[in-house]
Amino acid sequence: MKVTRRSFIHYTASLSVSAAALTTMGVMGQPIAAKKDNVLFIAIDDLNDWIGALGAHPQAKTPNIDRLFHRSTAFTNAHCQVPVCGPSRTALLTGMSPTTTGLYTNKELGIKPFSPVAESVLGSSPVLPQHFKNNGYYTMASGKISHHGTADFRHAEQWHEEVPLYVIGPRDAHIFANGYGYGSYGKDDHKYYPFPVGGGQVIQSEHYGPGTPGMSLCSGALERRDIPNGGVMPDEYFADWTVERLKKTYDKPFFMACGFIRPHVPYTAPKEYFDLFPLDEVIVPETIPKEMADIPIYGKALALGIIPNGDAAAVEKINMRKELVQAYLACITFVDAQVGKLLDTLEASPHANNTTVIFWGDHGQNFGEHMNYRKQTLWSESTRVPLLISEAGQKQGQICSQAVSLLDVFPTLVEMCGLPKVATNEGVSLVPLLRNPNFDRKIPVITTYGYQCHAIRDQRYTYIRYRDGGEELYDRSIDADEHHNLVADKQYQAIKTKMAQWLPKNDALPFGMTDFDNEGGDFITKILAKFENNGIPVYLQ
């Protein structure tokens, strides 16, 4: 059985929310909070819109995220700046777009050491947790907040407390001995643990090869004996650490961040979560025959991707699509349980009525739609993210369908908590939408992946333009899943022209480059060269 991926739900009935003012104006026009609320900042890795309350997958089981949804302003048309982990998180945490920083891919985030890169981009500007720490907040973090953990740079400047690393110890020798994932990735890096027993269904090669650590499309239900640290998943470890800190009292407001790794690959979770989704009952997203026929060559290149043997053809060849969807659903429900621990503890704590909760995902994930099984494209499966803001004391939820972005999070929290504005923030505060979800911001959202490749989205349309001038246009009021490219349709030319006006005018070169073409271009350049030498794969034609 197949199901069409649904667009985010829109409520027709308006839901009320208190419009009490949060701030008063202080010197130099900066907002100063009458009382600074705490912030619980929950980040989820690779979570698309498969949340029960959003209705994007009929089998999604997320009771805890759903209850947060129903007491939040739920931004149902939220998109990331970059559809890949590192640059997306960097944009949110710095408040700066990739077209300003030149940080377009994880490759730039992998420059060692990264601190000089970050400092040259940021200058004296603070990152989000640092700004809270500089303004009287007690800051704590666990899990994946930046790309490589709680911070990629400025650790001491951002956090008073950080969770210790999750590592494999001597008692886990039997797990490390299996070699798959652990052998090539290294036992002292905790980020993607645990791997499937025996490698699971692995796409790149018959087991994790050098250069592709943690990135294989693989899945597996785990018994507790197959999980390091005495059977404790990393996300359970991060949740428990955060729970203990939510129980404490503090002499200043806190900014507490918890970043969960699942549902990022490898798609592993304790077996009881897989049991909730019997394989023979799993529903996979619908794919459209020949849907790539009207996609420009740059779009085809993004669909192919950069992971060796990790494209859609490889997945289809070994017939593991249902297994991947099952595992992804299981991982979502697993991480939902960890979110539930935080919400339960917060609700029972002294902080229940003076803590704002923000819940966000760094980008989406494809499962065969647009012939892709990852993220890293400009279509909505890759760009759309969950974004929920539950203000301190808020009991009743509301829906906002305006186009918003993760770049808006930094200035929103600054305004909500009465902190000084940061001049380099490029996003726009969402506070007007918290007060009135129908407020028309009159600005679209820009998502970028690859140098001079952008998607522009408003409430109705999606316009994509690639570096070579290739274009796509979708009317989501009749084509919610962006399957039918209307760019050649004459009746939409005025819309295309209007959307194109929002394209960035000055795209920063990828960090470290001075001449894009003469220095070999980027990853898309390399894929296009493969097309030229070997032809475009049949399934992308």
Cis status of the peptide bond prior to 196, with omega within 30 of 0: no
- The rounded distance, in Å, linking the Cα atoms of 3 and 55 is 11
For residue 315, tell me if it sits in a domain.
yes
The answer to whether 394 and 16 have CB atoms below 8 angstroms apart is no
- What confidence score (pLDDT) does residue 195 get? 80
- What confidence score (pLDDT) does residue 314 get? 77
- Give the pLDDT confidence of 51-99 residue by residue, as tens digits: 999 999 999 999 999 999 999 999 999 999 999 999 999 999 999 999 9
For residue 211, tell me if it sits in a domain.
no
- What confidence score (pLDDT) does residue 27 get? 30
The answer to whether 405 and 385 have CB atoms below 8 angstroms apart is no
Mean pLDDT of 500-505: 97
Query: How sure is the predictor about 35, in pLDDT bands with cuts at 50, 70 and 90?
Result: low
- 104 token code pair: 């377009």
Q: Which domain holds residue 480?
A: 2-10+38-160+229-540
For residue 170, tell me if it sits in a domain.
no
The alpha carbon of 456 is separated from its chain's Cα centroid by a whole number of angstroms, namely 18
For residue 50, tell me if it sits in a domain.
yes
Query: How sure is the predictor about 305, in pLDDT bands with cuts at 50, 70 and 90?
Result: confident
- What confidence score (pLDDT) does residue 182 get? 60
Q: Answer whether residue 31 shows pLDDT above 80.
A: no
Mean pLDDT estimate for the chain: 87
- Give the pLDDT confidence of 386-443 residue by residue, as tens digits: 999 999 988 889 999 999 999 999 999 999 999 999 999 999 999 999 999 999 999 9
Number of domains in the chain: 1
For residue 21, tell me if it sits in a domain.
no
C-alpha Rg value of the chain to the nearest Å: 22
- What confidence score (pLDDT) does residue 205 get? 47
Alpha-helical (H) ranges within 311-458 are 312-317, 321-347, 380-383, 409-416, 431-435
Q: Answer whether residue 171 shows pLDDT above 80.
A: no
**Range ranked top by mean pLDDT from 5-9, 316-320, 434-438:** 434-438
For residue 18, tell me if it sits in a domain.
no
- Give the pLDDT confidence of 89-100 residue by residue, as tens digits: 999 999 999 999
- What confidence score (pLDDT) does residue 189 get? 53
Query: How sure is the predictor about 24, in pLDDT bands with cuts at 50, 70 and 90?
Result: very low
Tell me what percent of the residues of the chain surpass a pLDDT of 70: 86
The side-by-side arrangement of strands in the sheet containing 355-361 is 161-162, 138-143, 254-260, 38-44, 355-361, 387-390, 73-75, 398-400
Q: Answer whether residue 472 shows pLDDT above 50.
A: yes
**Catalytic, out of 147, 363, 370, 454:** 147
For residue 403, tell me if it sits in a domain.
yes
- What confidence score (pLDDT) does residue 2 get? 41
Which long-range CB contacts under 8 A does 482-491 form with residues at least 24 apart?
482/370, 482/379, 482/380, 483/288, 483/291, 484/294, 485/294, 485/295
Q: Answer whether residue 200 shows pLDDT above 70.
A: no
For residue 210, tell me if it sits in a domain.
no
Look at 5 and 509; give whichever has higher pLDDT: 509
Closest CA to 499 of 452, 466, 539, 458: 458
Active site residue 147: yes
Q: Strand, coil or helix: what is 32?
A: strand
**Catalytic, out of 79, 80, 85, 148:** 85
Query: Residue 298: is it exposed, middle or buried by C-beta count within 10 angstroms (0-12/13-18/19+)?
Result: buried
Active site residue 351: no
Q: In whole angstroms, how far apart are CA 44 and each of 89, 185, 230, 343?
A: 11, 22, 24, 15
Query: How sure is the predictor about 184, in pLDDT bands with cuts at 50, 70 and 90?
Result: low
Which range (4-13, 34-43, 253-262, 291-300) has the least confidence?
Answer: 4-13
- Give the pLDDT confidence of 128-170 residue by residue, as tens digits: 999 999 999 999 999 999 988 888 889 899 999 998 777 667 7
Residue 252 belongs to domain with CATH number: 3.40.720.10
